[in-house]
Structure 1
Amino acid sequence: MSSALVALLLPMASVTGHAADTSTAVVTGVVFSDKNGDGSQKKGEPGIRGVSVSDGVTIVQTDADGRYRLETDPGRRTAEIVFVTQPAGYLAPPDESMTPQFYRQLGELDVGQEATASFGLIPAPKNRNGDFTFGLLTDPQSLMLSEEGRGIFEGLVGELNNLTAEPDFLVNAGDLTQNSTDEEFVRYKSTTATSRVPVWPIVGNHDFEDSDLYDNYRKHLGPEWYSFDYGNRHFVMLENTSGFSDPPQLEWMRNDLATNAKKNKEVVVVAHRPMNSPATAGGADSPAPFIEVLEQYNTKLVLSGHTHKNDVDLTAVEGAAHVVTNATSSTLDQSPNGFRVVSFKGREIDYPFKMYDVERSLAVTSPAPGAQVAQGDGMVQVNAYNTTSNVTDVRYRIDRGPWRKLRQSSDFTWTAATRGRDLSLGNHSIEVRAKDDAGKTWSESSGFSVVRSESLNVPRAGADWAMFKGNSAYTGAAEDVLAPELQPAWSYRTPGTILTSSPVIVDGVVYIGTRDENGAENHAVHAVDLATGRALWRFPTDGQVEGTPVVANGIVYASTVRGTLFALDAKTGKKRWSITKGDSEDGVHRGWMYEQPNYEDGVIYQVYSIGERRLMALDAATGKQLWDTRLDGGWISETPSALGDGRLYVAGDNDWLVALNAKTGAEEWRGEPASCTNTTPTFSDGLLYLGCEGDELVVLNASTGKEVWRYSSPEESYLRGTPTGSSPAIADGVAYMGFSNGNVSALDAKTGQLLWTHRTGGGITSSPIISGGTLYVGSSDGFVYGFDRATGEKKWSFEIGAWVASSPAISGNALVVGAWDGNLYAFTGSGKLGEE
C-alpha cells in the first residue's frame, strides 16, 4: 500500500496526551481543502470554515481556519471515531473499497486523553450542482452464503457502472453482510471496490451482533450514523435496528438538522428498516420521535430496504416519499432483483426501479408473430427494456413502409393505434426498432395476417372465475374448455406493474390489482370489459394490490400491502366498506396484507400481519368481524388461507403451518413441514399441497398435518433464493406444479410419482391452470405457455417480453393474464366455446 493511500485512510490521526477535563477525551484537528489529494495540509490548502465534526453525539463546527475542538466520552464505544459532514463543493476521498473517508479511527481512548484527527477534503465544484443522480441498492447479505449472491451484487454494481448517465455516487441501504464477520466485510469491500463512484454505506440488522454491537461495522466502514451534503441537499444516514432506542442518535439528528438543514434545504434520509410496516420497531425503538423531528424540516425522501420488497408510501412521513427497495440478494415479494436510480432535477425527484440483468429486450405483442388481426382495427404494441439505459424511442413499420413512432405507456410498453391505415387481407410483415439514451438500437421483425373481423372470436364469458385459481380450495381447474391455438384479443394497459395479482372474471368483467414500483399513483383495482378490453372503472388504493381480488354477490374484495381490505361495488367501483390493520398508538402504521382474501358462504377470510400474523373472518356484506385468531411469526409471508373440509390452512415464516376451524377460528393442528412462505396451499381430496423453498412440493394429510409425500425438482433455480411461489393445480389424480428452476411438472397426486416435466427459460411464480386437456402457466422468461396435460408437450406459447408471475384466469372462450409490464392480456380460442 502506498504512503499516499495510507494518508488517505488514516491521515493526521494520533493520540497526543491528556486533556484538562478528566471526564472526557479531547479531539482536535483541522478540515482543509486538499487540492493535491495527498491527505496532508500544504501551503495553499486553506482550512474550510463551518464544517460539522462529530463523534455521533456532540457536533462542533470548524472555525475560520478550519480548526475544531471536540470533547468526547471514551466509554461510549470500544473504539472512538470522529467524522465530518461532507460539505457541498467537496468530496471525502474514497479508500480502496470506494468508501468515502469522512471519518477517522482513533482506537481506544482514555478519560483525559488528547487526540488529533484532521480531514483533507477534495475540492469538487460539481458537488454544488443541485441536479445529480445516485444509485440505490440494498441487502446484498448473501455474500457469506453463496457465490451466486456475491455474483448478483457484483453484477448490480457493474450495471450501475454502465448506466448511460453515470451516477455521482451509490448508497447501500444496509444488510451488507449476513453475520457481520470480518470475512464478509472484506468481501463486501472487495465488491464495492469495483464501483467507479463512491459508495456510502449504512448499518442493517445483519451488520452487527449484540455481543460487540457495532464494533465490526465501525472497524470496517465507520460510524453507525452520520450525514453528508451533496448539491443543495442534506443526507442523513440513520441506524434504526437498535439505534433508535439510543438517545444520543436522536439528539445528534436534532443538532445535525438544526446545523445543516437550514433555509428550507431538502433532506434525504436513509435508514435500513422501513418506518411504515410490521418490520418497524416499537417501544423505545419506535421511529415516531424521529419522524416528528424530520417533519419539522423539508424532508423529501426516506429510503429503506430490509423487507426485500419494493414499496412507495407518500403518507409515512409528511411531505416525503417513503421508498423501500427490494434486495440485491433475494426478494420476498417475488419481484425481480434490481436497484433504483434516484435523480434530482430542479424540484423534481425521481426514483425509478431498474430490473436487474435485462439486455436489450424487445417483444412485439401486437400484432404478435403469427397472429391474426382484424381488418381496419388494430394496435401496435411493443415491450422494450434495457437495464443500463433508458429506452427513448421505439418505431415500427409495416411491409417496409414508413417508420412511425410509438408512445410509451409504462416502463416497458410502447403503443400506437393503426385505425385508419387499412391493410389488405393476407400476410404482412412488421419491423420494430428501439433506441436508448446511449444511442444504441436493436430491432425485431415478424409476420402476421389480416383477416375479416367476423372470422375472429370475441371474448365471451362462461363460468365465473371469481377468485385466485377459480375456487376457495385453489385447485385451479376451469369449468370451460379452452384449447390452443389461442389468438390475442386485446391488451389493457396500465402505467404500473402486475406481479402476483391475477385476474378474476365475473359476469363478463375482468378485475385485477396493480402495483407501482416508482410512486403511489398506480396502486389500484381495475375493472375491464372482457369483450373489448375497455376500462370500466379504477379504484385507487392505499398500497400495492399484491394478491388477487375476490368477487362475490356484487362486491369486489381486494387487500393491500398497507394492511387494508377494501370491499368495492362490482359495477361502480365505489367503496362499500374497508378495514385497516396496523395503526399504532405512537402514530406509526405497522400493517401488512400481502395475502389475498378468500371467500366462502358469505364470509371473507383475510390473513394480515401487525408484528404477528393473524387470520380474521368477516361478514362479507358488512365487514363485521366474526373471529380473529393469532397464527405465528410476524415476518413477511404471502400465503393466504386455503379452504377444505371445513378448515383453513395457512403457512408462514419459521416453517410453520396451521389448520383452523373455518367457523370458529379454533386451531385444529399445527406442523412445521418446511419453509413455504411464498406459495398458496391447495386442498384436494383430503390432501394439502404446498410449494416450499428449494423447489419442493410437500403434500400433507389435511386432517392431521402428517406428511404423505414430497418431491424435489432437481435443476438450478432461475430465481435468487430459490423461492417457490407457484401453487399446484389438481385434477383427475394429477398435480401440476411450477418451480423456480423453470420446470412445469406433472406428478401423481397420491404418490408423487413424476409423470412428465417441461422446462421453460425462466422461473415459475405463476400458478398453472387446467382447462380441458391443456395446462396454462406464465414464466419469468416472458412467455405464457399451454402444455398438453397428458404428455407435457408444448402446444402454444405467447411472448409478452416481461415477467409473467400472474396466473391465468379462464372463462368462456377467453384466457386473461397479467404481466410485469403492467398490462392485462386477453386471448381467445380458435374453435367454438367448449370445443377441445
Structure 2
Amino acid sequence: MLLAASLPAAAAHHGRVFVDKNHNGSFDKGEKVLKDVKVSDGLNVVKTDANGMYTLPGHERERFVFITLPSGYKAGDKHYHPITAAAGNYDFGLIPYQAGIDKKGAHRFIQVSDTEIFNTTGNEAWAENIRQYAANEKPAFIIHTGDICYEKGLKEHIELMNTQNMNIPMFYCIGNHDLVKGKYGEECFEKYYGPVYYSFDVAGVHYIVTPMPGGDYRPGYTKDDVCRWLKNDLAHVSPETPIYIFNHDILTYGNDFTYKGKTESINLNEYNLKAWIYGHWHINHKKKQGNVYTICTSSLDKGGIDHSTSAYRVMHVDGKGDFTSELRYTYLDKKLCIASPVGESASRVVTANVYSSVSPVRKASYTCTDGTRTILKNKPLTQVSDWTWSADMPLKEQYKGKKLTLQVVAEFKNGETTKTETNFVYLPGETTVKLDGNWDNLAGNAAHTGISTAQLDSTLSLAWVRNVGANLYMSSPLIHNGKIFTASIDEDLKGKAFIYAMDGASGKIVWKYPVASSIKNTIAITDDIVFAQDVLGNLYAVDCESGTLRWKTQLPVNGLPGLIEGLATDKGIVYAGTGKALSAFEARTGKLIWRNNDWNQREGTTTTLSVGSGVVIGSVQWSALYANDLKTGKKLWSASNHGLRNRGASAAIHNGLLYLISNKAFFIMEARTGRIIVRKTLPYSVDVTSTPLLTDKEIIFGTAKEGLVALDNQTLEEKWKCPVGDALIYTSPYSRPVSGTIETTPVLAGKMIAVGASDGTIYGVDKATGKITWKHATGSPVFGSVAASGNALVATDFGGNVYVFTRK
C-alpha cells in the first residue's frame, strides 16, 4: 500500500481467498484458505493473512477488487469482482490447476492477438485450433494481447474464448480499438473482461497485463494510474523473480524500459524483466533490446499488415523463467505432401512437408515399394524445419527407370496419424542442370521485367531438392555464375538467419553466412557480391565465391517496424533501405553515394526497390509511391491518390513506364513524372507482392484471392484467370479462408509462365490460355518468386526447401 496515503480516503473492502472444493463459489466449512495471495483495488496491493483474509483501503477511482492468481490455481468464476458499493465483501474461490507445469516449473503459454472479429465470420475454426492445441499440449494459459475490436467484437469474443470453453485460464489485454464509446473508453471492455491491468503468477514467474495508453476513445485510466499500481504490485515481487509484461503495443524502441506517466515512473530494467509481449502491428517480430526481448505476434486468423504469416505464438518458459518461442499456423488439419521424389525424378531425397495446427509432428517415416515388393520399409525421416521432414533414400542402381511407389506416414504428438503416397520414376544421372545466365535480382533484373531466356515446358522434372534448415520467405532465389543464392528468416531468434550459396548442379550448400535477424525480402547481386538487408537494418555485402563479408553497414531505419522491403542492384551500385534510410552505395567499397532526405518509412511495406529509366521506385504502404533520381537521390515525385497508397507489390519498368498493381487496380505510369497513363479498376484485391509480367500480348500478375490473372495488353480486358488452391498460410493483409493467393512474381520462360502460390504449388501456365500445363506440389507455401536460367527452374518453399527442375 505504498501510495495509498497520497489519495483521498475511501471505504474499505475485505474478503477471503480460499480453495473452492465443491465449486459453488462460496466459502464452506472445511475448505482450505490461502495465505499470501495478493489482492488489489486497482491501486493498493495487499496479501491475505493466515486465515485467507484481506482488507483493502479502497481509493477514489476504484472499480474492481482483483487478485493475482497464484500458481497452481485458476479462478472458479473470475479473478475479479466489480465494486458495487462503498464498502463490501469480495471472496475469491480458487480451483487447483496444475496443468502444463512440470516438476521443475517449466511451462508454456499461447499468445493470440488482433483477432478483430467485429466484421468476420468463421472464427470458431481458428478458436477450435487453439482449443485443441491447448488440450493436446497443456499450456498453462492463453493471453490475448488486444484489438478484439469495437463493441460488437467485445461482446462476441468473450463467448468465443473464455476460461470455461477453452478449458484453460484465459486472459485479455485492451487494445486501441477496444477503447470504444461510453462513459469512458474502457467501459465496455470492463463489462465483459474486467480490469484492464492486473497480474498472475505461474511457477515462479510473475506475469503482468498492462493497458494500451490510448485509442479510439479516451480511457478513464492514465499512465500514472497504471504506474502507481505497478509499483505496488512489484513491491511484493522479489528482485530475482522473472517478469513478463503483456500490452497491446510496444513500450519502447530502445533499451530503457521505464514506464512513464506525467508524474509517475517506474524503471522496469531494475527488475528481472524477460520480455515485453505485444500485438498491434499485425507482424511477427522478435527483437532483443538490451536484456529484454520484445515480441510481436500477427493475427492468427488473417494475413498480417506487412504480409506476415497468420499465426499464434507458443512461448516455452523453463524452470528458470527463460524462454524460447515458436509461431504456429492455423486452419491446417494434418496436411501432408510428398515434395520429393515425384514424377520423373533424379533425386532420391525423400522430402515431406507436414503440418497440423493442433499438434506438433512426433515422427515421420517412409516406405518404398516396387509393385508388391517392399524395397525399404518404415525408414525414419528427420525433421529439418518446422514443415519439412527429410531423408536420403538409398536406392540401388537396379531400380533406375522403374516406376516405384513412395508412402509417407506422419504421427502427431496427440496420437493422430496421416499418410499419403505417390509414384515416381527414379532416373539418376538422367538430367544435367545448365545455368547459362545470371538472375541477379527479383524477376531477373533491377527493373523486375521477369523475362527469361530459358525455354521451359511441361516436361520439367525434379533434378534436386535441398533443405537449408530454416524458413524461406520472400527472399526469391538468385542464380549467379553457376550458384544459387537465397536467405532465410528467423522469427524466433534461434540463430537460423543466413545467406546461402548452393552449387547449382548438385544442391550442395557451398557456404552460408550468418546474419543478425530475418531477411524477409529480396536479395540481389552485382560485381560478384550478394547483398541482403535484415529486419534490423543491417546491410550485408558478401563475396559470392568465398562467402566472406566484404563490408557491412547499419542503415538508419526506424526501431519499428522492421525493415522488410527488398533491395536491388544495377551496374555496380546497390540500392537499399527505405524512407530516410533509402541509400545508394558503391557495391565494391560500400561508399555511400546518396541518401534520401525527402520521405519517411512506415509500417506494412513489402515492396522491392525498382531501378530503371533514371529512377529508383520506392514505396510506403498507407502513404505513397515514390520516385527518386537514380544519380542524386532527390525525390522526383510521389503519388498517393487513386488507390496508390495501399500497395504491397513492386513496379516493373519497361521503356520509361511503370507497370504495377495496387489495392484493386492496375496502373501504367510515367517513370520520370509519375503521371498516371492507365488506371484499370479490378473486381478483386491485388494487395499482394506480385510484380506484373509484361509479355507480347499479356499483362500477368497474382491476386489476393483469385489466383493468377492476365489482361490483354492492348485492351486491358481480362484475358484469362488461372485459379489456384486455398492458401496454406494467409499473408495478404486481411485475407482469410478461402483465398487463392499468389504473392509471387510470374516469370516467362519460353511460352510457359512459372509462378509459385500460397497453396504450396509451383505452376507452369500457358501464357496464351492460362491453362495449367505443369505443376509441382510442395505442401508448403511458396512466397519467393521463381528464377529461370538455361534448362532450369529454381524455386523455394516456406519450409526451407530449394528445388531445381530441368527440362528434358
Q: CA shift at 1:535, angstroms?
A: 0.9
Instruction: Kindly report which structure 2 residues correspond to 1:144-543, keeping only aligned pairs within 5 A, or say none.
Output: 144-147=118-121, 151=122, 153-163=123-133, 165-168=136-139, 170-178=141-149, 180-181=150-151, 183-193=152-162, 194-208=165-179, 212-242=184-214, 246-261=223-238, 264-274=240-250, 293-294=268-269, 296-297=271-272, 299-313=273-287, 315-318=288-291, 321-328=293-300, 329-344=302-317, 346=319, 349-368=323-342, 370-373=343-346, 378-399=348-369, 400-401=374-375, 402-419=377-394, 421-425=396-400, 426-451=402-427, 453=429, 455-457=430-432, 459-543=433-517
Offset of residue 339 of structure 1 = 1.5
Are the equivalent residues in 1 in contact too, given 2:364–2:411 (CA < 8 A)? yes
Per the alignment, do residues 577 and 452 of structure 1 end up closer, same or farther by CA in structure 2, a change over 3 Å counting?
Answer: closer
- The code of the aligned residue for 1:756 comes to W
Identify if the C-alpha distance between structure 1 residues 699 and 614 changes in structure 2 by more than 3 Å, giving closer, same or farther: farther
Given residue 28 of structure 1, which amino acid in structure 2 is its aligned partner?
A: H
C-alpha distance after superposition, 1:754-797 (max 9, x if no partner)? 22221111311111111121110001111101111122221210
Aligned residue identity for 2:109: F
Residues 373, 450 of structure 1: 8 Å contact kept: yes
Q: What is the letter of the counterpart of residue 395 of structure 1?
A: S
Report the identity percentage: 26
Alignment counterpart, residue 620 of structure 1, candidates 565, 587, 608: 587
2:705 corresponds in structure 1 to 741
Provide the rounded CA distance (Å) in 2 between the counterparts of 1:389 and 1:782: 20
Deviation at 1:283, TM superposition (A): 11
- Taking the aligned partners of 2:195 and 2:718, their CA distance within structure 1 comes to 55
Question: For the Cα contact (< 8 Å) 2:557–2:577, is it kept in 1?
Answer: no
| Counterpart residue number, 2:37 | 51
Matches within 5 A, 1:797-808: 797-808=775-786
Equivalent pair of 1:816/1:824 in contact (CA under 8 Å): yes
Q: 1:195 to 1:630 in 2, by over 3 A?
A: farther
Unaligned runs of 5+ in 2: 726-739
Q: Give SS of 1:49's match.
A: coil
Q: Give the SS at the match of 1:595.
A: coil
In structure 2, do the counterparts of structure 1 residues 607 and 29 end up closer, same or farther at CA, with 3 Å as the change threshold? Answer: same
Per-residue CA shift, 1:548-570, capped at 9, x if unaligned? 11111122110111122112222
Secondary structure in 2 matching 1:371? strand
Q: Per the alignment, do residues 54 and 734 of structure 1 end up closer, same or farther by CA in structure 2, a change over 3 Å counting?
A: same
Distance 1:323 1:305 in 2: 8
Tell me, yes or no, if the aligned pair for 1:743 and 1:764 is still in contact at 8 Å: yes
Q: Render the CA deviation track for 1:94-128: whole Å, top value 9, x for unaligned.
A: 4xxxxxx2122226x8xxx5444332222335587
* Amino acid in the other structure paired with 1:506: H
Does the Cα contact within 8 Å between 1:84 and 1:102 map onto a contact in 2?
yes
Say if 1:680 and 1:637 are closer, same or farther in 2 by CA, change over 3 A.
Answer: same
The answer on 1:723 being equivalent to 2:693 is no
Give the aligned partner of residue 754 of structure 1.
718
- 1:708 alignment partner AA: I
Superposition deviation, residue 398 in structure 1: 1.5
Does 1:685 find its partner at 2:662? no
Superposition deviation, residue 543 in structure 1: 1.4
The answer to whether residue 778 in structure 2 is matched with residue 795 in structure 1 is no
Instruction: Summarize deviations over 1:163-200 as a string: whole Å, max 9, x none.
Output: 2615345434333333x32x221011121144232321
CA contact (8 A) 1:203 1:239 kept: yes
2:93 maps to 1:120: yes
Compute the RMSD of aligned alpha carbons: 3.1
One-letter amino acid matched to 2:69: Q
SS at match of 2:229: helix
Partners of 1:32 and 1:639 in 2: CA distance:
57
User: Does the 8 A contact of 2:172 with 2:193 survive in 1?
Assistant: yes
Q: Determine if contact 1:173/1:202 at 8 Å carries over to the other structure.
A: yes
1:210 Cα deviation from its structure 2 partner: 9.2
Deviation for aligned residue 1:809: 1.0
Confirm or deny that 1:635 pairs with 2:620: no
Report deviation, 1:541. Answer: 1.4
Contact map agreement 1:514 1:523 (CA 8 A) in 2: yes
Q: Secondary structure of the residue that 2:289 maps to in structure 1?
A: coil
Number of equivalences: 767
Q: Which residue of 1 aligns with 2:523?
A: 549
TM-score when scaled to structure 1? 0.85
Which residue is equivalent to 1:700? 669
Partner SS state of residue 158, structure 1? helix
Partner AA of 2:420 in structure 1: E
CA contact (8 A) 1:276 1:590 kept: no
What's 1:93 paired with? Answer: 76
Structure 1: which amino acid aligns with 2:604? I
Instruction: Classify 1:241/1:540 alpha carbon distance in 2 versus 1 (closer, same or farther; 3 Å).
Output: farther
Find the aligned partners of 2:802 and 2:659 in 1 and give their Cα distance.
28
Tell me which amino acid in the other structure corresponds to 2:631: K
Single out whichever of 814-823 and 649-658 deviates more from structure 2: 649-658
The answer on whether the counterparts of 1:241 and 1:281 sit within 8 Å (CA) in structure 2 is no
Q: Does 1:820 align with 2:798?
A: yes
| Alignment counterpart, residue 615 of structure 2, candidates 647, 654, 658 | 647
Given the superposition, is the C-alpha separation of residues 445 and 22 from structure 1 closer, same or farther in structure 2, using an over 3 Å criterion?
Answer: closer
Q: Distance in 2 between matches of 1:289 and 1:686?
A: 56
Match of 1:61 among 47, 65, 74: 47
What is residue 638 of structure 2 aligned with on the other side? 670
How much does 1:489 deviate? 1.4
**Which structure 1 segments of 5+ residues have no match?**
1-18, 95-100, 831-836
Give yes or no for contact 2:42–2:63 (8 Å, CA) kept in 1. Answer: no
The alignment partner of 1:465 has SS state of coil
Of 220-229 and 478-487, more deviation after overlay is shown by 478-487
Question: 2:8·2:59 contact (CA, 8 Å) conserved in 1?
Answer: no
Distance 1:545 1:261 in 2: 39
Confirm or deny: 8 A CA contact 2:703 2:743 kept in the other structure.
Answer: yes
Task: Determine helix, strand or coil for the equivalent of 2:208.
Answer: strand
Q: Residue 321 of structure 1: CA displacement?
A: 4.6
Pairing partner for 1:73 from 59, 62, 67: 59
Encode CA deviations 1:532-557: one digit per residue, 9 max, x unaligned: 11112112212110111111112211
Per-residue CA shift, 1:329-358, capped at 9, x if unaligned?
Answer: 431343432212334455674432221111
Structure 1 residue matching 2:153: 3-state secondary structure: helix
Please report the TM-score for the alignment, with normalisation by the length of structure 2. 0.88
1:11 corresponds to which residue? none
Contact 2:255 2:289 in 1 (8 A): no
Bigger shift: residues 37-46 or 163-172 = 163-172
One-letter amino acid of the structure 2 residue matched with residue 392 of structure 1: R
In structure 2, C-alpha distance between the alignment counterparts of 1:440 and 1:362, rounded to whole Å = 13
Q: Secondary structure at the match of 2:126?
A: helix
Q: Is the 8 A contact 1:136 1:341 kept in 2?
A: yes
Change beyond 3 A, Cα 1:285–1:372 = farther
Do 1:423 and 1:450's aligned partners in 2 also have CA atoms closer than 8 Å?
no
**Mapped partners of 1:61, 1:605: distance in 2:** 60
Distance 1:285 1:682 in 2: 48
Query: 2:79 matched to which residue of 1?
Result: 102
**Secondary structure of residue in 2 paired with 1:260:** coil
